[in-house]
Amino acid sequence: MIEIKNLTKTYGSFEALKSVNISIDKGTVFGFVGPNGAGKSTTMSILATLLLPTSGSASVNGFDVTQHPHEVRKRIGYMPDFFGVYDHFKTTEYLHFYGASYGIPRAERDKLIPQLLELVNLSDKKEAYVDSLSRGMKQRLCLARCLVHDPDVLILDEPASGLDPRARIEMREILKELKLMGKTIIISSHILPELAEMVDEIGVIEHGAMVAQGKVADIQNSLRVKRVLHIRVLERSEELAVQLRDEAYVSQVLSDANGVHAHFSGGDAEQSQLLGRIMDLGYQVVSFNEAQSNLEDVFLEITKGGASNELA
Ligand SMILES: Nc1ncnc2c1ncn2[C@@H]1O[C@H](COP(=O)(O)OP(=O)(O)OP(=O)(O)O)[C@@H](O)[C@H]1O
């Protein structure tokens, strides 16, 4: 649905994008993560036909953003990180304005707009002036605006930025609904653990270049992000801790009243073999769990440099 090939963008002599490649299948929710200034907004603006690339190509459903921008615009809903809302409108009027500019007939809009307001939890604000809405509400209204022409693809540049925790959760719930509706979504954010819950894939960009891309679990596996294993045995817990220290892929073994905790740098296969060996050694295993590492761990592992410190 989205195909970005060797995309570059230079501002004067500064290379904001250096041959970026991204491929996103229909129905995928793609989390686009990277520190400030990495090139997320630049990539998304090009995809939204608002900025011309210096070289390379980007297409939506087969339509190239530079050759067929009108076809692309019909298929995308774009939510920029800065948004202008027309304060003198009421929320309903605001959506009518956008619906009309997409050529949607009045009768159709009359049916559609209450549905959109319901989707973004603003039904009780249908008569409110945009001016009077909170930041979170304005952001949800902006999202409703992106959906007016029922686009297949949503390009959302930091839709949860500046929102308080409750407003972020509301935004996340709406995005989950959009995913269920089959939309292809590319969403950028600094709030990595929040993305983790809803994205199918992530792409990590740093200094204008993609540094990793794929399913979160695959990236974790390929990077061998350290897992923490929690192991409880019926007896001889201390002895197990000592034996684990000699195991490959195991480091930093601790033992306490809750069991043995070990850092593990192997993948799924090695983890399963380790469990087998512990059982072969005659331990009666009560539980063998892996503490879930999250997107933040993945991100920090990939971008190791100082740039990641800028993340919220
Ligand atoms: N119009 C411009 N002129 C010159 N440099 C620009 C321009 N727009 C963006 N840049 C530079 O391009 C780089 C990428 O910017 P971009 O806004 O795409 O980053 P980002 O990943 O979206 O960052 P953030 O998370 O802070 O929004 C930055 O170094 C930025 O300063």
Residue 295: the pLDDT is: 62
Residue 251: the pLDDT is: 85
pLDDT (tens place) for every residue of the chain, 312 residues total: 999 999 999 999 999 999 999 999 999 999 998 888 889 999 999 999 999 999 999 999 999 999 999 999 999 999 987 766 677 889 999 999 999 999 999 999 999 999 999 988 899 999 999 988 888 888 889 999 999 999 999 999 988 777 777 777 887 888 888 988 899 999 997 666 667 667 889 898 889 999 888 887 777 666 656 678 999 999 999 999 999 999 999 988 988 888 999 988 888 899 999 999 999 999 999 999 987 656 666 666 666 654 333 333
Span from the CA of 226 to the centroid of ligand 1 (angstroms): 32
Q: Which helix (H) or strand (E) holds 7?
A: strand 2-11
296 to 156, 220, 227, 270, 289: CA distances (angstroms): 20, 11, 13, 23, 20
Span from the CA of 36 to the centroid of ligand 1 (angstroms): 8
Closest C-alpha residue for ligand 1 atom 10: 16
Residue 225: the pLDDT is: 61
Q: What is the ipTM of this complex?
A: 0.95
**Burial class for 269, CB neighbours closer than 10 Å (0-12, 13-18, 19+):** exposed
Contacts 24+ apart (CB under 8 A), 246-255: 247/274, 247/277, 249/274, 250/274, 251/226
Ligand 1: residues with CB < 6 A are 11, 14, 16, 34, 36-42, 81
**Which atom in ligand 1 lies closest to the alpha carbon of residue 38?**
21
Closest C-alpha residue for ligand 1 atom 16: 39
Residue 294 · residue 284 · CB < 8 Å: no
Domains of the chain: 2-214 (3.40.50.300), 226-292 (3.30.70.100)
Structure token digits, residue 297: 């761990």
Q: What angle do CA 99, 155, 130 make, to 5 degrees?
A: 45
**Which atom in ligand 1 lies closest to the alpha carbon of residue 9?**
12
Structure token digits, residue 299: 């991100």
Q: What angle do CA 6, 27, 52 make, to 5 degrees?
A: 30
Our CA dihedral for 11, 211, 200, 123, rounded to 10 degrees, sits at -30
Backbone phi, then psi, for 183, in 5-degree steps? -70, 150
